[in-house]
C-alpha cells in the first residue's frame, strides 16, 4: 500500500515535471483544450441562467378568463362565484377592468395613448390557478370556462410555457452535442500529445523496462500527464467562462431592466464546475489510455 502510494506520488510528480519542462507547449495545449471546453461550458452557463429566469417567470400555469366588454357587474360576479366553486380551481384572482386601466396609464409611453381613448378598452378578467397542471386538464378547463355566459375569451398561459420548455430542451441538446463533439476533440488532442511524449521518452521507457519497471510503472506518468493536461484545459475553460460572465453581467442586467425584469447573470453553478473539471481530467486520462494502447509497444 505504501509502495503503491509512493509510486503514484512519483508518477504525478514526474507528469508535473514533464509538463513544466516545456511551459510553452503546456500553455498552448491548455489553451486549445480550454477553448474547446469553453464553448460547451459557456453554453451551459447561459442555459443555467436562462432556466433560472424561466422558472421565476413561469412557475405555475395559469388560465386567464376575459369577460365581454359590456358584461354587467352582476354577471361578472356570477362567473366569479362559478369559478370559485369549481372543484379544479386552486386560486381565483379577480382583475377589475378599472385596475387594468390604471396600471396601463401608469406605464411609460402607453399612458397617453390610453388617456386619449374615449372609454376603458379593457374587460374584467380572472386569473385562475388550476389544481391539476397536466396539459389535458388545462385544456378541459379552458373549454369549460369558454362556455360560461358572457365570457369572451379564455387563454391558457401554459402554451408559451411549453414552447419555452421545448426551446430549452433544444438548447440543452445543443449544448450536450457540442460537449460531446469537443470532448472527442479533447481526447484526440491528448492522444496526440501522449504519442509525442512516448516518442520523446522512448529511451527512458526502454531503460526502465531493462531495470525491472512494470507496465503500470511506465504507463502511470502518462495517465497523470493526460489527466493534468485535461484539468489545465478545464481550468482555462472555467476561467474564460468566468471572465465572460463578469463582462456580460452589466449589459445583461441593463437589458433585463429595460424589460422590467431584475436579473443578474450568475457564474457557472458549482455542480457544473465540478462536472467540467471531472470530465476534463477523465477525458485527458482516456486520451492517454488510447494513446498508450496504440503506441506503447511491449
Partner 1 sequence: MISFDQVSKRYPGGIAALGELTFTVESGEMVILSGHSGAGKSTLLKLIPAIERPTQGSVIVNGQNVAALKRAAVPYLRRNLGMIFQDQKLLYDRSAFDNVMLPLAIAGVATRDAGRRVRAALDKVGLLDREKAMPVALSGGEQQRLAIARAVVARPAILIADEPTAHLDDDTARGIAAMFHAFNQVGVTVLVATHHEALFAPFMTRRITLSHGRLLP
Q: Does 99 bind partner 1 (CB under 8 A)?
A: no
Q: Does 16 bind partner 1 (CB under 8 A)?
A: no
DSSP state of 176: H
Q: Which of 10, 1, 2 is nearest to 217 (CA)?
A: 10
- Residue 97 or 220: the one with the smaller Cβ distance to partner 1 is 220
- Residue by residue, DSSP assigns 63-89 as EEEEEPTT--HHHHHHHHHHHHH-TTE
CA–CA distance, 221 with 270 (Å, rounded to integer)? 29
31, three cell numbers: 489553451
Query: Would you give the distance in Å from CA 56 to the centre of its chain?
Result: 15
Query: Would you give the distance in Å from CA 182 to the centre of its chain?
Result: 17
Q: Does 1 bind partner 1 (CB under 8 A)?
A: no
Q: Does 3 bind partner 1 (CB under 8 A)?
A: yes
112, 212, 270, 297: which one binds partner 1 (CB under 8 A): 212
CA–CA distance, 86 with 79 (Å, rounded to integer)? 10
Give the number of residues in contact with partner 1, rule: CB under 8 A.
19
Q: Does 112 bind partner 1 (CB under 8 A)?
A: no
Residue in the block written with cell 509502495: 3
- Span near partner 1 by CB under 8 A; candidates 3-11, 93-101, 135-143, 259-267: 3-11
177, 181, 199, 207: which one binds partner 1 (CB under 8 A): 207
Q: Does 211 bind partner 1 (CB under 8 A)?
A: yes
Q: Contact 86/173 with Cβ under 8 angstroms?
A: no
- Residue 51 or 213: the one with the smaller Cβ distance to partner 1 is 213
Q: Are strands 89-95 and 63-67 parallel, antiparallel or unpaired?
A: unpaired
Q: Which of 149, 125, 147 is nearest to 64 (CA)?
A: 125
Rounded to the nearest whole angstrom, what is the least distance from the CB of residue 7 to partner 1 in the complex? 6
CA–CA distance, 121 with 134 (Å, rounded to integer)? 33
Non-local CB neighbours of 190 within 8 Å, separated by 6+ positions: 33, 226, 229, 230, 283, 284, 286, 287, 288, 291
- Residue 118 or 212: the one with the smaller Cβ distance to partner 1 is 212
CA–CA distance, 71 with 158 (Å, rounded to integer)? 26
Q: Does 2 bind partner 1 (CB under 8 A)?
A: yes
Site string for partner 1, 259-288 (x = CB under 8 A): ------------------------------
Q: Does 59 bind partner 1 (CB under 8 A)?
A: no
Q: Does 210 bind partner 1 (CB under 8 A)?
A: yes
- Residue 104 or 217: the one with the smaller Cβ distance to partner 1 is 217
- Residue 126 or 223: the one with the smaller Cβ distance to partner 1 is 223
Q: Does 244 bind partner 1 (CB under 8 A)?
A: no
Q: Does 203 bind partner 1 (CB under 8 A)?
A: yes
Q: Does 296 bind partner 1 (CB under 8 A)?
A: no
Binding site for partner 1 (CB under 8 A): 2-4, 6-7, 10, 203-204, 206-214, 217, 298
Amino acid at each position: 500500500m505504501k509502495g503503491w502510494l509512493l509510486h503514484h506520488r512519483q508518477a504525478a510528480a514526474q507528469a508535473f515535471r514533464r509538463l513544466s519542462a516545456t511551459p510553452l507547449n503546456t500553455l498552448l495545449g491548455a489553451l486549445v483544450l480550454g477553448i474547446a471546453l469553453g464553448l460547451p461550458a459557456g453554453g451551459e452557463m447561459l442555459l443555467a441562467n436562462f432556466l433560472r429566469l424561466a422558472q421565476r417567470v413561469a412557475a405555475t400555469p395559469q388560465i386567464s378568463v376575459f369577460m365581454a366588454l359590456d358584461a354587467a357587474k352582476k354577471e361578472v360576479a356570477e362567473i366569479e362565484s362559478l369559478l370559485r366553486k369549481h372543484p379544479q380551481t386552486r386560486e381565483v384572482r379577480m382583475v377589475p377592468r378599472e385596475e387594468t386601466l390604471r396600471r396601463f396609464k401608469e406605464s411609460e409611453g402607453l399612458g397617453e395613448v390610453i388617456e386619449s381613448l374615449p372609454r376603458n378598452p379593457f374587460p374584467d378578467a380572472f386569473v385562475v390557478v388550476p389544481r391539476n397542471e397536466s396539459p389535458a386538464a388545462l385544456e378541459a378547463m379552458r373549454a369549460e370556462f369558454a362556455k360560461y355566459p358572457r365570457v369572451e375569451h379564455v387563454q391558457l398561459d401554459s402554451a408559451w410555457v411549453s414552447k419555452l420548455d421545448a426551446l430549452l430542451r433544444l438548447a440543452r441538446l445543443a449544448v450536450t452535442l457540442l460537449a460531446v463533439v469537443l470532448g472527442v476533440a479533447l481526447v484526440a488532442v491528448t492522444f496526440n500529445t501522449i504519442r509525442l511524449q512516448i516518442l520523446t521518452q522512448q529511451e527512458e521507457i526502454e531503460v526502465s523496462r531493462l531495470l525491472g519497471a512494470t507496465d503500470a510503472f511506465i504507463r502511470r506518468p502518462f495517465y497523470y500527464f493526460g489527466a493534468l493536461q485535461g484539468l489545465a484545459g478545464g481550468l482555462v475553460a472555467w476561467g474564460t467562462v468566468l471572465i465572460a460572465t463578469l463582462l456580460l453581467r452589466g449589459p445583461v442586467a441593463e437589458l433585463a431592466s429595460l424589460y422590467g425584469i431584475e436579473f443578474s447573470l450568475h457564474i457557472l453553478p458549482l455542480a457544473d464546475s465540478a462536472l467540467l473539471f471531472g470530465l476534463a481530467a477523465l477525458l485527458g486520462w482516456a486520451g492517454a489510455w488510447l494513446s498508450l494502447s496504440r503506441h506503447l509497444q511491449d
